[in-house]
Structure 1
Amino acid sequence: MIPTLLKLPNARKVVQLLGGCEPETELLILYDAMTAGNVEALMIAATEVGASPVTMQMMPSTFHGTELPKSVAAAMAASQLVIGATVRNIAHTDARRGAQAKGAKVIVLPESDDERFFLAKGWSVDFETVRQQIDTLAQALTEASTARVTSDLGTDVTMSIAGRTGRSLNGFANSVDISAGYCLEASLAPVEGTANGRIVVNASIPGVALIKDAPVEIEFRDGFAVSIRGGAEARQFRELLEGFNDPNVYNLGELGIGMNPMCTLDGTMLSDESVWGGFQLALGTSAYIGGTCKAAAHYDTVLTNAALELDGRLVFAGNRLLI
């Protein structure tokens, strides 16, 4: 068992640095039975600054993005700062969006059931240093109309991003969008129905598996994935999506680039999605990140050694930010 004392330095980063918790902050720490072991460190970090946190335990959700109970949603909406230390991601839910519409800041910490969660390498990033880079790329996404992602393995997909706002997930909690701890990225929701081409996923499908057997090849036509081919991981992903019995889970719901230089591919959601230069092309819901599609789930795919063009201008290639 990892002592709470060892978890405390990075729990402080969540509560005090990223959350900006103060004595008068109405803080809700939401957790489930699988993540209970990491709650104490968050509680201590909150009491250190004079706050009086409230904890609320719920049953673990079945999937990432499963809607939360009404009682949980109400508690979130009544809080000023919500830390969702849960095994499944609560970011893509009405409860999260509703809480932020009421002015709450929300930090989501999915897969925080691992007792070593607060010892992950990603916490060692200099949040202030990378913040400007993430903000810069997010602004470039906002200003562009089209995006194209390519890679030497055969990825070549284009999409409209006209009118969509780039998201700067720089870790710092706010009432507009989520913080996901050390999961740092610039991203947005592509315009529905516009993605065409092919992606070759060579790194990870967070929440499903690291890619070990063979790359997962996904073909898109008019915004939707029409085929998923490859080895064992492709089959696993295909069967997972089929199980939702919802055609919208095939929507290309997100384009993003991970921007935490301290992260490595390790099979966890927060790390895999924020590896510096890791491209995220997610399937499913986009309604909670600036899009219009609601689906039964939201699953990212991550590919590396790729390039991003915005309106024909190369802005990211391999591990290099070019703006």
Structure 2
Amino acid sequence: MKINGLRGGKVNLIDASVIVMKDVLSVEDGEEILIITNPGEVFEISLSLFNAAKKFKARPTIVVQETKGTLDYAERAVIEAIKSEPDIVISISEQKLGKDAHGINIGYIGRDHKKYNHIFEKLLRGDKKIRGFWSPGITKEIYLRSVPINYAKLRDEVTIISKILNHGKEIHITTEKGTDLMVDIRNRKPLKDDGDFRKAGSGGNIPAGEVFISPTVGKSEGVIVFDGTLGLGGENIIPEKPVKVYVENGFLSRIEGGEAAKKLEKAIKDAEKMAIEIGKLEEAKNSWHLGEVGIGLNPKAQMSGKLLEDEKIRKTIHIAIGANYDNDAPALNHYDCLVWHPTVEVDGERIMEKGNFTIF
């Protein structure tokens, strides 16, 4: 399979993976690279990354496990492989990498003295010993379309939005379909998925292309109308009828809509139930909390029904239900859901109008 590249040429899997090794990871001679994957189409992508890494004289290893859903645990051998602290860890999965049983039940303390529920997060964010990326739900079509992009331009745009959010106190999101949400972001720091994973401690999605931030716990108010892809862990759905959710004190209080609304509510309740069963009452409560507001920036991303790509689409934002990135509202779920053509203001400054950026 080939697809048009940056300059109109054809790009195949190995071409795209060489771009990843060079522009995204800046792989060096002798670096250890762990690639965790599943059987099937994602294995082909993983093999292209393996072969691309060898072109840079790195030392890649592939570990294959069965497909894991949002609430499934990774195989013990996978967790142990990550514990070996390779320079780079890559997850190319049909659904998810899988949870860490020790992390969920006991936890890890990073060098930053924060608690993490997965060894990958501890080594990446807490210890800053590894770097890498994760691509849940990736397909060859998405990989070839959305990965070979101009990363320098993407990073410039991400920097502009990050600066605005970094100094912001409140985000106001509206749409013609009825979204009207106020999100408190005081004392929060934006995070970037700009494909710059060249230093230890950095990581994100491939395909890249978003800026995201965790709402202040318990402070968001309003209504959200989701009219794009709903990411429900192991299942991504595009709703036939928009899903309307009501937010009070940062938590979902009501969900309305058709079959998609029922599936969203069930997915949240399943995560809540699992948290209760293992004695994690705070996680159960936070199953209903707003965990993220993200802004899509990838110039090649298209609606594919795969949240990994869809949440990077320009003209969209996504709002997650469940765990946040500041680790002060832990949950077992993190369900990203899309809103098309939003108008977005930060402290009164309009950065998007009906999905179009007004700042660059």
TM-score normalized by the length of structure 2: 0.81
CA distance in 2, matches of 1:115, 1:182: 11
Q: Which residue of 1 aligns with 2:110?
A: none
- Give SS of 1:265's match: coil
Structure 1 residue 91 displacement after superposition: 9.7
Amino acid at match of 2:135: L
Q: Which residue of 2 aligns with 1:107?
A: 133
Match of 1:126 among 142, 150, 163: 150
Match of 1:20 among 4, 26, 47: 26
Q: Does 1:154 align with 2:178?
A: yes
Contact persistence 2:316–2:339 (CA under 8 A): yes
Q: Which residue of 1 aligns with 2:278?
A: none
Q: Which residue of 2 aligns with 1:197?
A: 222
- Give SS of 2:14's match: helix
- What are the equivalent positions in structure 2 for 1:1-323 lying under 5 Å apart? 6-34=12-40, 35-63=42-70, 68-69=74-75, 71-77=77-83, 78-90=85-97, 94-100=118-124, 101-102=126-127, 103-112=129-138, 114-119=139-144, 121-173=145-197, 174-207=199-232, 208-244=235-271, 245=273, 246-286=284-324, 289-323=325-359
Q: Cα–Cα, structure 1 residues 54 and 209, in superposed 2: closer, same or farther, change >3 Å? A: closer
Q: Cα–Cα, structure 1 residues 137 and 241, in superposed 2: closer, same or farther, change >3 Å? A: same
- Give SS of 2:263's match: helix
CA RMSD of aligned residues (A): 2.2
- Give SS of 1:14's match: helix
Contact persistence 1:11–1:118 (CA under 8 A): no
CA distance in 1, matches of 2:154, 2:173: 23
Q: Cα–Cα, structure 1 residues 73 and 162, in superposed 2: closer, same or farther, change >3 Å? A: farther
Deviates more, 1:191-200 or 1:237-246: 237-246
CA distance in 1, matches of 2:73, 2:297: 28
Amino acid at match of 1:309: E
Contact persistence 1:192–1:291 (CA under 8 A): no
CA distance in 1, matches of 2:133, 2:62: 14
Unpaired segments of 5 or more residues in structure 2? Answer: 3-10, 100-116, 274-283
CA distance in 2, matches of 1:159, 1:177: 26
- Give SS of 1:263's match: coil
Contact persistence 1:67–1:94 (CA under 8 A): no
CA distance in 1, matches of 2:141, 2:169: 41
Structure 1 residue 124 displacement after superposition: 3.6
Q: Cα–Cα, structure 1 residues 284 and 67, in superposed 2: closer, same or farther, change >3 Å? A: farther
- Give SS of 1:301's match: strand
- Give CA-to-partner distance per residue, 1:219-270, whole Å, 9 cap, x none: 1111111111111211111112222223322110000100012111110122
- Give SS of 2:143's match: helix
Q: Cα–Cα, structure 1 residues 117 and 259, in superposed 2: closer, same or farther, change >3 Å? A: closer
- Give CA-to-partner distance per residue, 1:166-195, whole Å, 9 cap, x none: 111101214444221123101111111011
- Give CA-to-partner distance per residue, 1:139-186, whole Å, 9 cap, x none: 211111111111111111112111111111101214444221123101
Structure 1 residue 322 displacement after superposition: 2.7
- Count residues in correspondence: 316
Structure 1 residue 67 displacement after superposition: 5.3
Structure 1 residue 312 displacement after superposition: 2.0
CA distance in 1, matches of 2:171, 2:164: 11
Contact persistence 2:165–2:190 (CA under 8 A): yes
CA distance in 1, matches of 2:188, 2:75: 30
- Give SS of 1:279's match: strand
CA distance in 1, matches of 2:334, 2:154: 26
